[in-house]
């Protein structure tokens, strides 16, 4: 069924009608896979907003946020604070659902990604220094030097992100655990 389908279904766990979009598919699957779970789904306040699914077992809780076109955010950590971003992000239902099942079946906490160095990101993408240099129009030695640095210009990181097929996002995390994404100068046009 397409992501924009609006057909409704009623689940036995909540009795609420939920649209058969991707979060509805997750709810339907989890209801069958974990019949003892209490599952709630909250619709977004505005069209195109974030859907929230909470799965509760006697000793476990998993929160799933879904927004059409942005994917799934997962949180099951007891130490996760309100307003913090998701610990794990999955772009597709096909990658999110197996991870959700694994987390619930094993009562595991989600794990936020650890900070990594530029070299680890390049290796994660399966790229050699030579290939990154070719994509950036530079030499392999300059990529090697960049990977050894601990201080970067944002423009350098943005170029590397683009070479990796990624997007650079810069955010600040405040003492109250709230986060704000910074607009990079180019975006303010």
Residue ranges of the domains in the chain? 8-106, 118-188
- Topology (CATH) of 118-188: 434 Repressor (Amino-terminal Domain) (1.10.260)
The answer on pLDDT for 101 being more than 80 is yes
pLDDT at 34 over 60: yes
> Which pLDDT belongs to residue 7?
31
Q: How confident is the model at residue 186 (pLDDT cuts 50, 70, 90)?
A: low
Q: How far apart are CA 99 and CA 16, in angstroms?
A: 25
Q: Find which of 9-13, 52-56, 177-181 is predicted with most confidence, using mean pLDDT.
A: 52-56
Can you give the pLDDT at residue 4? 34
In the prediction, which pLDDT does 182 show?
86
Exposure b/e, 124-145, CB count within 10 A at least 16 = b: eeebebeebbebbeeeeeebee
What is the rounded CA–CA span in Å between residue 64 and residue 74? 5
Q: Can you give the pLDDT at residue 81?
A: 65
What separation in angstroms does the CA of 63 have from each of 32, 74, 87, 131?
18, 6, 10, 39
Amino acid 1: pLDDT: 34
Mean pLDDT within 116-125: 89
Q: Give me the numbers of helices (H) and strands (E) for the chain, helices first please.
A: 6, 9
Residue 113 confidence class, pLDDT cut points 50, 70, 90:
confident
Question: How confident is the model at residue 83, as a pLDDT?
Answer: 65
Round to whole Å and give the CA distance between 26 and 103. Answer: 14
pLDDT band for position 188 (cuts 50, 70, 90): very low
Q: Is the pLDDT of residue 177 over 80?
A: no
């Amino acid at each position: 069924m397409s992501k924009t389908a609006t057909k409704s279904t009623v689940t036995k766990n909540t009795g609420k009608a939920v649209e058969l979009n991707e979060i509805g598919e997750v709810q339907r699957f989890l209801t069958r896979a974990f019949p003892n779970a209490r599952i709630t789904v909250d619709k977004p306040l505005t069209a195109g907003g974030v859907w929230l699914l909470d799965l509760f077992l006697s000793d476990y809780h998993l929160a799933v946020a879904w927004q059409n076109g942005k994917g799934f955010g997962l949180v099951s950590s007891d130490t996760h604070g309100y307003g913090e971003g998701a610990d794990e992000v999955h772009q597709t239902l096909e990658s999110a659902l197996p991870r959700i099942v694994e987390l619930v079946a094993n009562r595991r906490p989600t794990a936020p990604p650890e900070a990594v160095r530029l070299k680890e990101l390049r290796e994660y993408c399966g790229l050699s220094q030579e290939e990154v240099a070719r994509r950036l129009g530079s030499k392999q030695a300059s990529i090697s030097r960049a990977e050894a640095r601990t201080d970067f210009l944002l423009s350098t990181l943005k170029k590397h992100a683009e070479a990796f097929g990624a997007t650079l996002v810069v955010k600040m995390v405040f003492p109250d655990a709230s986060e704000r994404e910074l607009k990079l100068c180019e975006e303010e046009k």
